[in-house]
Every structure is written in structure tokens, then in C-alpha cells.
Structure 1
């Protein structure tokens, strides 16, 4: 079944990238289910980390750990959101013709 790609470029850079060369990209022509699963994997990992932190006592926590934790949560969540956006667009275009 032919598809229409809503993205002008096949490879879309993720927003969490900090370089100009965008070494991490999303293949916008990949199977939307695979993209969706990759998104869910990252969002689940982020959610699991937040759940673990919610249950922890921070009395003995090093203050330097906070930026490390928030950075990991940002990367997981942002990448997951970027992947979900691509999967959503692809699924709209992969609908069977009426």
C-alpha cells in the first residue's frame, strides 16, 4: 500500500540532540508500530524512574544527583514524544483507503 510521507526529509532529528550534525534521528519511513514501540519504551523507562524516585527518601542524596536524574528524564521523555509525533503522523497516512 503506497504511503504519503508527511515529513519533507526521511530522517528527522530528535529535539534532545545537542549537536549540529544530529547523530540521532528518527527514520520517518520506518514502520509506525516500531516507532510507537520505541516511544513507549522510552516513556515507560521515564515513568519507572519517576516512580522509583517518588518512593525514595532523599535524606542521604547528593545534590549533584538531581541534575543527572532530571537530564535522564528529559532525554527519555523528549525522545519518546518525538517518536510518538512521527508515529502519529505515519499512522494517519497509513490508513486504508475508503
Structure 2
């Protein structure tokens, strides 16, 4: 299944929907925790100054692994509910 965060006609990055559930779960957790840890580090900083362009780029950078993790969680959910891959 192609990742939804990268819109193209020929997907280069895909999710193996038949991979073991624990492997899929580990992949999702890794991506979501990486984003969470970085956001928590930023939240606890006393001063954070940046312009809007940098913040927009930073948000996009964090959205990519977060979207990937959500895509993998969607696959897990479908598999657990018995829906076709």
C-alpha cells in the first residue's frame, strides 16, 4: 500500500500490508514517538523564536513521519477488523 503522505503516480514508499502485526506496530510507534519526542523538547524550551517560513518547514518535516505512522496504524486496524488488505 503506498504511503498517503507522498502523492505521486508511481509510489516509491509502500507499506507491506501483510507484514506481521508486531512489525507494523513497531514501525508506527517508532515514527510517532520520534515526532512526539521532538515536539516535547521544543515545548519545554524557554525561548523559541523563528520566522513563519521556518516553522512551516518544521511542521511539514514532522508531519511526514507522523502521517506514515498513522498510515501503518490504519493497516493494523484493518487487519484486526478482518478487512481485506
- What TM-score, normalized to structure 1? 0.73
What's the C-alpha RMSD, in Å, of the aligned pairs? 1.5
User: For the residues of structure 2 that align with 1:55 and 1:69, how far apart are their CA atoms?
Assistant: 17
**In the alignment, is the contact (CA less than 8 A) between 1:14 and 1:25 conserved in 2?**
yes
Judging by fraction of residues, say which structure has more strand. Answer: 1
- What TM-score, normalized to structure 2? 0.83
Structure 1, gaps ≥5 residues long: 1-11, 94-98
Instruction: Report the equivalent of 1:54.
Output: 43
Secondary structure at 2:80's aligned position in 1? helix
Q: Over residues 11-69 of structure 1, what are the superposed CA-to-partner deviations in whole Å (9 max), with x where a residue is unaligned?
A: x111101322111110111111100110000000110111011122223x354321221
Select the residue among 24, 37, 46 that pairs with 1:35.
24
Structure 2, gaps ≥5 residues long: none
User: What pairs with 1:1-98 in structure 2 (closer than 5 Å)?
Assistant: 12-56=1-45, 57-59=47-49, 61-93=50-82
How many residue pairs get matched?
A: 81
Shift, 1:88, TM fit: 1.9
Larger radius of gyration: 1
